[in-house]
Chains A and B, each alone.
Chain A
Amino acid sequence: MIRNRSRGRTGQQNRNAQNGDSLKSEVSGKNINSSDARAFSGHLKSMLDLIREESGNSPDIVIRQFEIGEPASRQADAAVVFLNGLSDERTINNVVMRSLIEFKPDPNLVTDPDRLMETILNEALASGDCSIHMDWKDMLLSVLSGDTVILLEGCEKALVISTPGGEWRAVTEPSSQLVVRGPKDSFVESIGINISLIRRRIKNPDLWLETMKIGTVSHTHVGIMYLKSLADENLVEEVKRRLHAIKIEAVLESAYIEEFIQDETFTPFPTVFNTERPDVAAGNLLEGRIVLLVDGTPFVLILPTVFAHFFQSPEDYAQRYDITILMRLIRYISFIILLLGPSVYIALTTFHYEMIPSLLLISFVAQREGVPFPAFVEAMLMEVAFEILREAGVRMPRAIGQTVSIVGALILGQAVVEAGIITPVMVIVVALTGIASFALPAYNLSIAGRLIRFCFMVLGGMFGFYGITLGLIALVAHMNSLRSFGVPYLAPLSPFVMQSQKDTILRLPFWTLNNRSRKIGNHKTNIEKAEEIAPLGRPGQQDGSGGNRQ
């Protein structure tokens, strides 16, 4: 028996080595992959021993053995296997166990375990989601995902009953993407709950869900959701292809997946959108985008995305359109301030004093008298100090966070000016830049801006506006070269799509937007041919210039 199994495993290894298939690949250590059908030996005791052996005799795997049938007549040996903590014990007790114990089968049936299992499935179990598994590995994985498995003596199959349970964080208000008006729920760490949150918003059979498991060790559930009639078929295929190509041991956050499937790694700009808000996910589904849900994180991925997407907040659709237009403009302006604020100040004071209005210049000069550092060093000091403060503020326990902001913002800012080390204007510029970075609805774009800001400061400090202009040209060229699943990153602006302008920088009233495929539908024309989309993680492509778009 054991000999058989081990031979099967080696065979498996050989096959893996040959075809290099990622999803079924072998991982050393805990092996739950002996998917050989012979593992279902039909011998209950050896099957249970195998389960115990493969899980290292973990105490949280509960194996309950019992007999089916009336005690007077013949009985069949059976066992229930579940994972303590992940499965719902009440369901197991009330539904599974009770059904089995109260089940009084025809004595003839007991001799035929296969028919007995089917009868249990069809007649005894008072549970909605159950199925018969033939695959040992699948069976084990479902136990580890919180399902309950019934094994019968002499039967080479397993009956799997869905009994999800365990503790999850309750659905709470989102912590990163807040709105004044709009839904207040947020995704949680359970993919099941997350899917239900989206389904609750779009009650339509057209909303398709496909799941897969990624992570050779973690076997994380990943769901692909899209509206069949709106999403581009090629895009769905491409997403699936890229997901299948992922080789990773564990997926603990959707960012792990994002890094594998994004078109361009060497860019500060995010090319996959993420959100923890179900309403945003639903809204994007309705625009024909694809939503990727990853078990264990409240952040879902949305793709394809464009640059303008990161300036949109769910609140844009909850407030009046004219106010929304103003708010969006302010977000774009704050992004520009974030990128260029300190660098423009440096360039103005060290190169282009003639461009400063005279009276303002006098004030600048007066402040600079006696300040020991050049403007560039001054700006760098302040920006770095600000980044330290921010990092400290984010990681600090919430109770201390207040103190940090008081010490940082008030005392440090005040003292540094009074000591004559930094000019007050610099403090204003840095503070404005910092606040501007918070005005962006997307955190990942704001950190991208913070990074690029330092490059611009160097350029501004070395070459003035000339350097900043060159930097901007390079930046726009780079952004133009970016693609998010084939969609040009600056899409509705470059290439220009008139139809999409209604909801890019502007947000016109809803009745003008009632074109169903109002965003991605137009991008479809822009999606480049499938072969042009850079293949990811595919060996042999990395050195080729064709797939490498930098």
Chain B
Amino acid sequence: MVQKRTKTAAFLALAFLIIITSGCWDARELNRRAIVSGIGIDRSKEGFLVSLQVIIADEISGKIGRGGTPTSVYSASGRSVVEAMRNVSLKVPRLISTAQTRMVVISEEVAREGISGIVDFLDRDSDLRLSTQLYVARKGTRALDIVSAITPLGRITAYALVQKTELAANELGANFSLEIDDVIRGLLAPGGGPVMNGLNILGDLKKSGDKSNLERTNAQGVVIIDDMAIFKGDKLVGWMDLEECKGLVWAMNKMKKTVVVVKDETDHEEITMDVFETSTATKVDISNPLKPVIQLRVKPQISIREAGTSTDLRDPRVLAKIEEKANKVIAAKLEGAVAKAQGLKSDIFYFGQQIERQNPKVWSRISGQWEAIYPTIEVRCEVESIIRNTQMRDRSYKYNIKSK
């Protein structure tokens, strides 16, 4: 009885000691952390120049702000990204915490040389999320400049940029959010590569990181979402233009909303339409394995937003004609994007994977030659747009003028 009690007491004491002596695992108070919102990676003499955009929380919501900038950029060089980040700690008094990072910008210079090492770091790191967005800073703009920029709307540039990307994707449809795991998927595609959103600074590069940038209604340096970068493997090979970007987004079935402009034949005025709902189906015809035919079937639903014509938009025949024109415009965008990608020999649309999914046997036969086949494959775009509504008015007020 007594022995048993002693044993129990000893056991409890041991259990208690285990808890007490093991300490607080990896506890770290919030005011011991430097929270990184964005990472910029540039080329430097040693290898990489990594710039970290650190949030200065006091300046954003604290009562004890000193009137400084909402973010602060710390950068250092190293032979690899991780080494450079460790070197940053010479400048930062707190633990660099990257779990809230939403943006990683890679300069075009680095991107052209290959991003596989960087992507591996982003993938491997336990703190960084796979939902972090990846960007390429266009030539002439360093990643450091992007990370240091101050934006009037949204105090943290990195978060504001991610919001901009998502908004632009939802409104204009010339780009879409590309996260680390999307990029890795692109890197894995045979004969293909990832695409990435480009970033650029419009206006004065030097003013964009200055606090005075906030003091003018017309900011002197603004970070904008630029065209999309095309990679072949892990190397950047080219850029799409705006219309091609839309085609790219469409072909990859990422289109949410975009705008289409056609000319009306009656009085040669422009009719502008919103595509508010669309889907793209990809079909592969492999009757001839060496000449596969890709069919892109797009079904956009359209709403007319702006009509400078006097056409009677109540007339189904008129609408059918407009639909016809919209089909052509949309198909042209898709074809342009595909042609550009084929020209760059990068299968960014995962056509190879489509073939593999539909017919693995054929794919195993042609996969070795895919690099050669891809630029020659035929891509047919079938667009069947439907005008669903004409918003608040059916005819323009011009129709009434004419009918009088």
Within 8 A of B (CB), among A345-389: 349-351, 353-354, 358-359, 361-371, 374-375
Within 8 A of B (CB), among A49-94: none
CB distance from A369 to the nearest CB of B (A): 5
CB contact under 8 A between A364 and B24, given known A353-B99, A358-B159: no
CB distance from A14 to the nearest CB of B (A): 30
Interface residues on A, range: 20 to 34
CB distance from B376 to the nearest CB of A (A): 47
Q: Is A248 an interface residue (CB 8 A)?
A: no
- For chain B, the count of residues having a C-beta within 8 Å of the partner chain is 31
Q: Is B100 an interface residue (CB 8 A)?
A: yes
User: Which residue of B1, B23, B26, B58 contacts A369 across the interface (Cβ within 8 Å)?
Assistant: B58
Q: Is A464 an interface residue (CB 8 A)?
A: yes
CB contact under 8 A between A461 and B27, given known A354-B99, A366-B60, A370-B64: yes
C-alpha gap A463/B19 in the complex (Å)? 9
Q: Is A330 an interface residue (CB 8 A)?
A: no
CB contact under 8 A between A365 and B30, given known A353-B100, A354-B99, A543-B1: yes
CB distance from A18 to the nearest CB of B (A): 26
Q: Is A308 an interface residue (CB 8 A)?
A: no
C-alpha gap A370/B62 in the complex (Å)? 11
C-alpha gap A462/B24 in the complex (Å)? 4
CB distance from A174 to the nearest CB of B (A): 41
CB contact under 8 A between A350 and B60, given known A358-B102, A365-B35, A462-B19: no
Interface digits, B134-156 against A, CB 8 Å rule (1 contact, 0 not)?
00000000000000000000001
Q: A362, A367, A461: which has the most chain B beta carbons within 10 Å?
A: A362
Q: Is B353 an interface residue (CB 8 A)?
A: no
CB distance from A379 to the nearest CB of B (A): 12
Closest to B65 in A: A366
CB distance from A543 to the nearest CB of B (A): 6
Q: Is B110 an interface residue (CB 8 A)?
A: no
Residues of chain A within 8 A (CB-CB) of B58 are 366, 369
C-alpha gap A359/B158 in the complex (Å)? 12
Residues of chain B within 8 A (CB-CB) of A466 are 25
Residues of chain A within 8 A (CB-CB) of B169 are none
The 10 A-B pairs of least Cβ separation, nearest first, read A354-B99, A366-B62, A365-B57, A366-B57, A350-B27, A368-B31, A366-B61, A368-B30, A363-B61, A362-B57
In the complex, 8 of the A-B residue pairs with CB atoms within 8 angstroms, ordered by the A residue number, are A349-B30, A358-B102, A359-B159, A361-B30, A362-B60, A366-B60, A368-B30, A368-B31
B residues at A contact (CB < 8 Å): 1, 4, 19, 22-31, 33, 35, 37, 55, 57-58, 60-62, 64, 97, 99-100, 102, 127, 129, 156, 159
A residues at B contact (CB < 8 Å): 349-351, 353-354, 358-359, 361-371, 374-375, 461-464, 466, 543
Q: Beyond A366-B57, A369-B57, A462-B19, list 16 extra A-B contacts (CB 8 Å).
A: A353-B30, A354-B100, A358-B100, A361-B35, A362-B35, A365-B30, A365-B31, A367-B62, A369-B58, A369-B64, A370-B31, A462-B22, A462-B23, A462-B25, A462-B27, A463-B24
